[in-house]
Structure 1
Amino acid sequence: MTTEQAEPARHDRRWKALAVCLTAAFMTLLDTSIVNVALPSVERGLRASTADLSWVMSGYALTFGLALVPAGRLGDLRGRRQTFLAGLALFTLASAACGLSSDATWLVLFRLVQGASAGMIAPQTSALIQQMFQGPERARAFGMMGSTIGISTAVGPLAGGLLIQASGGVDGWRWVFYVNLPIGVAVFCAALKLLPRSLASPGRSEGFDVPGVLLLGTGVLALMLPLVQEQQWQGHLKWALLPVSAGLLAAFWAWERHQGRHGRAPLVDLRLFSLRSFSLGALLSLVYFGGFTTLFFVYTLFLQNGMGYGALAAGLSSMPFAAGSAAGAAAGGRLVVRFGRKLVIAGLCTVAVGMLGVAAAVHWVPGRGVAWAAALPLLAAGIGSGLTISPNTTLTLSLVPVRRGGAAGGVLQTGQRIGSAAGVAAVGSVYFAHLAHPGNPATALQYGLLTAIAIILLALALAFADLRERRVRPQREEKREAARESV
């Protein structure tokens, strides 16, 4: 039995260690959206330009996505505890530097560092769950992680609004970053005590695939840049980066196959994609994140710019989704072992119905009362999201070897970041186009939501295809066996 396999049996503080991991994950995911409502304060306090504000937001998402796979592999090779602690320390220091920034250029730079350090932390969380838990307990732990993802995504605007209102003044935005300091220090101290110490890659020493990192990093960068900067980079020339990205990612795939054929350790073990549960689950996750995360982007813009809501009121309006997501993810963690992919299908259907309900509420209840009318549909969409994210994560990583858990988690979460960026670009384009012509915010929101629903229905089609394949596969195997016996 390897050190890694023995670790879950010896580690009697697994649930406390999980709480440490999820607190760090919550903090890093919260920073993807909490800054939204602080941008006007940043603009006033630092006299930041529109381009600066754009990079404060998109730069974090960009470096977050770039760091995930290399950091996951680093955790597999050098130990998840060490990589988690290094990422957490860097994230806390970068948060302090963001808050102390004297001009917009420094703020953008430190946000890039903050995003990269968040990308170091994220894959360690899913890998540590695989390392510490098995069976139904693993599903329950992934359910708690799903709750963390859903809640952090939804409450970011609320948390930012509360901090801005409490601190006030032109420097109120600084507390959006300072709030990470006590949390980061407390989590770091707890992680030193609670996280398992074993290295995640026992046996022979494996090298770090530097060419693979460069090919994947530049490929993902070329893919994400035009997506995250879609509104800021005018013209169509930016889309020329997409074929460049395709070429780089194809070169990465060829290089990883070359590494595998010659017995060298690749950055991403391509055999993972031969696991149908992993490849289908990763694709479904990418598509789903392209739909559901865009809800808060267009809905918050609609409430603040279209309906005149303040930052705090707009943040409070997202709370039904957060509450529903927490409840749905907790239930999903218990039910996924019993229902499998059917539970994901039920969740996706519920999300689509909930978002249709939001679109209907905007149509039937015009004016400032729209947030109350949309509360129940948002609650339903949140429950559906909880029943989608955590069960899909459990199913996607169920057959992945634990020693490859960090890299696999990095691939899964990179897809989520790419999906979110692509979804915001697509839904944002529809929203702003209809906002300009004819200029009705409610109509623009409805078209944006319908675009997001179409993306979610694509994820639903993938889930149905997988379910059908699982049903047909045993019949095919029976026919092949009967044919062999008849020969």
Structure 2
Amino acid sequence: MTRDARSSLDASFSAFSCWFFVMLTRPDRLTRLRRTIGAPHNKCAAQYNCVRFEEQVLSIEPTAPTVTRGRTLALVVILLATFIDLIGVTVLNVILPSIQTDLDASPAQLQWMQAGYTLVLAVGIVSGARLGDMLGHKRVFIAGMAGFAASSALCALSVGPEMLVGGRVVQGLFAALVIPQVLSQIQIMYASNERGGPMAAYSSLSGLAATLGPVLGPLLLKSDLAGSGWRMAFWVNVPLGLFVVVASWKLLPESRATHAARIDVPGVILASVGLVLVLYPLIDSAGKTPWPAWTYGSILAGVAVLVGFVFYERRVGSRGGSPLVEMSLFRFRSVQGGLLLQLLFFVPAMGFFLVFMLFLQNGIGMSPMRAGLTMLPWSVAVPVFATLSAAVLLPRIGRMTAQIGLVVMAIGFAMVALAAGGATPATDWTDMFWGVLVGGAGMGMLVAPLMQLTLTDVPIEFAGSGSALYNTVTQLAASIGVAVIGTVFFTELKGVGQTSAELADGYGSAMATSLWLGVGLLAVAFASSFLLPRGPVAAPAPDVEVVNA
């Protein structure tokens, strides 16, 4: 790495570190940000003397925290667990080309290494929350973190791509136990008027993981401790996970919901089977033309199962049960538009992260470190513009914030597509810098206000279910994005030559095609944005009125 590149990297990290430190240590700024980003939670707390997660009520007195001693250390521990879960996805994107070479993985297997994790997380996160309500949040959190550490070791020990895919699926399962308990623990340890700082710190972790992941991945790869190579990205989770387990046992309070909902086992099975029947043929057919006849039958069967899932969930809800998905939420206009926009936006975004790293490393021959640094402008732009849009734009222009973000992101995609379409072995990060930066800015402007815009029309009693549905769709979109964008990318690569010029041209063409598809999806997302509420979206009041539920 040149001295200028090191200086640029140091400056980027210094700027972001200063921003994150200020956000973490200034409760007033955290509270203002949380009022905008986390409106559904505050909105619920404003009218109920309770903490809502899903449909359950935790009997916690909001005027005083349940835990006072050691809660800052406990907060650090649960945030570390969240960070480990989040950064695993961004690190894996950078090291996938190395995994492909070492394990001789097929395109479909590479896609399943990401999609398997997010798919299980999407289906399991609601059930994970309910397990915490039933068995105790501390107990489920510790079990989930121990399982995540063990499954990380399984991934690190993989002798073939099939074993690594299986390890990633198990990781997603245990992550679905961990993530819901983090929010529950914050709500238990902090009174309602104290949660602004911890919740904003939690919200900031995704930006921190996105920033560090593209650089941490190559550093772990380059360290090659004991000849571990890419496996170090998984080994590092083991001691960190064990530390979280031990510290959580000492520091976290135990709690459970007073009225815990049952786990919707039939709903989980129907959703899982339907999604696998749809996604498996899409991923398996990557690079194959024409598609085998069975793929169409599988997709049709999957759609039929998912239709059955919808009818089953509606019946469970109408009978007063606890469905996996609260179907009555879809009667609200903001939910319809917001979830459709979210799906159409996250599909190209998540697919981009996968194929861009393959293009940079396999196509134009960048090292993992150089590829990670090429992605750094995007990673830094997301949290910066997310803060700007949530704190400044959303309260003033409402849904136009999301619409501007979509347009800016589409422009960024187009800029990168034009650069990739003419790629040669001499193509460098400077050719894509502005496109990557603009794309990240657009994503940042969109991700921060989207949840609040989506749940604007949702009544208080459905706030928890709405938040859970939003998070589920996010993970589902990630799986679909890897499947759809990855399949288009690998299909375009079919028959590419092996000289450096042919690789650059072939990978560049595949990258451009994938991005133009992404631009089209963002255009459809823009149309769906008109279903969102127009005008400014007011942030909830910082002081809550306590009334009995």
TM-score, normalization: structure 1? 0.81
Secondary structure, in 3 states, of the residue corresponding to 1:309? coil
Residue 211 of structure 1: which of 235, 249, 266 is its match? 266
Residues 233-261 of structure 1 deviation map (CA, whole Å, 9 limit, x = unaligned): 76352232222222222222222222233
Matched ranges for 1:325-340 at <5 A = 325-335=382-392, 336-340=394-398
Number of the residue aligned with 1:98: 155
Amino acid at match of 1:214: I
Number of the residue aligned with 1:459: 525
Native 8 Å contact 1:283 1:415 kept in 2: no
Amino acid at match of 1:379: L
Number of the residue aligned with 2:483: 425
User: Structure 1 residue 122 and structure 2 residue 179: aligned?
Assistant: yes
Residue 386 of structure 1: which of 444, 447, 464 is its match? 444
Native 8 Å contact 1:123 1:406 kept in 2: no
Number of the residue aligned with 2:295: 238
Residue 349 of structure 1: which of 396, 403, 407 is its match? 407
Displacement of 1:134 after TM fit? 6.6
Q: Greater shift after overlay, 50-59 or 305-314?
A: 50-59
Structure 2: distance between partners of 1:465 and 1:95: 42
Amino acid at match of 1:422: I
Residue 202 of structure 1: which of 234, 237, 258 is its match? 258
Number of the residue aligned with 2:166: 109
Secondary structure, in 3 states, of the residue corresponding to 1:308? coil
Going from structure 1 to structure 2, the CA distance change for 1:291 and 1:55 (only over 3 Å counts) comes to closer
Q: Greater shift after overlay, 309-318 or 91-100?
A: 91-100
TM-score, normalization: structure 2? 0.73
Displacement of 1:321 after TM fit? 0.5
Amino acid at match of 2:382: S
Number of the residue aligned with 1:273: 330
Native 8 Å contact 2:95 2:221 kept in 1: yes
Amino acid at match of 2:454: T
Native 8 Å contact 1:143 1:331 kept in 2: no
Residue 302 of structure 1: which of 359, 367, 376 is its match? 359
User: Structure 1 residue 293 and structure 2 residue 347: aligned?
Assistant: no
Query: How many residues align structurally?
Result: 467
Structure 1: distance between partners of 2:484 and 2:227: 33
Amino acid at match of 2:377: P
Going from structure 1 to structure 2, the CA distance change for 1:254 and 1:15 (only over 3 Å counts) comes to farther
Residues 282-323 of structure 1 deviation map (CA, whole Å, 9 limit, x = unaligned): 222111111212222222222112211111211111011010
User: Structure 1 residue 317 and structure 2 residue 374: aligned?
Assistant: yes
Displacement of 1:423 after TM fit? 2.8
User: Structure 1 residue 158 and structure 2 residue 212: aligned?
Assistant: no
Structure 2: distance between partners of 1:88 and 1:161: 25
CA-based RMSD: 3.7
Going from structure 1 to structure 2, the CA distance change for 1:442 and 1:176 (only over 3 Å counts) comes to same
Going from structure 1 to structure 2, the CA distance change for 1:251 and 1:321 (only over 3 Å counts) comes to same
Amino acid at match of 1:213: V
Q: Greater shift after overlay, 48-57 or 405-414?
A: 48-57
Native 8 Å contact 2:386 2:447 kept in 1: yes
Structure 2: distance between partners of 1:74 and 1:401: 25
Going from structure 1 to structure 2, the CA distance change for 1:207 and 1:49 (only over 3 Å counts) comes to closer
Native 8 Å contact 1:295 1:449 kept in 2: yes
Q: Greater shift after overlay, 372-381 or 233-242?
A: 233-242
User: Structure 1 residue 10 and structure 2 residue 64: aligned?
Assistant: yes
Secondary structure, in 3 states, of the residue corresponding to 1:34? helix
Amino acid at match of 2:171: Q
Structure 2: distance between partners of 1:37 and 1:28: 16
Residue 222 of structure 1: which of 252, 257, 277 is its match? 277
Structure 2: distance between partners of 1:346 and 1:241: 38
Structure 1: distance between partners of 2:457 and 2:75: 21
- Structure 1 portions without partners, runs of 5+: 472-487
Q: Greater shift after overlay, 356-365 or 449-458?
A: 356-365
Structure 1: distance between partners of 2:273 and 2:511: 34
Displacement of 1:275 after TM fit? 3.7
Native 8 Å contact 1:25 1:122 kept in 2: yes
Native 8 Å contact 1:71 1:120 kept in 2: yes
User: Structure 1 residue 414 and structure 2 residue 472: aligned?
Assistant: yes
Going from structure 1 to structure 2, the CA distance change for 1:197 and 1:221 (only over 3 Å counts) comes to same
Amino acid at match of 2:87: L
Residue 395 of structure 1: which of 434, 453, 458 is its match? 453
Displacement of 1:465 after TM fit? 3.4
Residues 425-472 of structure 1 deviation map (CA, whole Å, 9 limit, x = unaligned): 33334434444478623333222211111112222221133245x79x
Residue 371 of structure 1: which of 429, 437, 443 is its match? 429
Amino acid at match of 1:448: S
Structure 2: distance between partners of 1:69 and 1:230: 30
- Structure 2 portions without partners, runs of 5+: 1-48, 52-57, 497-501, 537-549
Secondary structure, in 3 states, of the residue corresponding to 1:213? helix
Displacement of 1:80 after TM fit? 4.4
Residue 173 of structure 1: which of 219, 230, 253 is its match? 230
Native 8 Å contact 2:108 2:286 kept in 1: no
Number of the residue aligned with 1:446: 512
Q: Greater shift after overlay, 9-18 or 435-444?
A: 9-18
Residue 284 of structure 1: which of 338, 341, 352 is its match? 341
Number of the residue aligned with 1:257: 314
Structure 2: distance between partners of 1:282 and 1:446: 27
Number of the residue aligned with 1:485: none
Displacement of 1:196 after TM fit? 6.2
Amino acid at match of 1:224: L
Structure 2: distance between partners of 1:280 and 1:130: 29
Structure 2: distance between partners of 1:276 and 1:128: 32
Residues 352-372 of structure 1 deviation map (CA, whole Å, 9 limit, x = unaligned): 222222234446785545311
Structure 2: distance between partners of 1:167 and 1:84: 31
Structure 2: distance between partners of 1:283 and 1:84: 31
Going from structure 1 to structure 2, the CA distance change for 1:136 and 1:433 (only over 3 Å counts) comes to farther
Structure 1: distance between partners of 2:493 and 2:409: 25
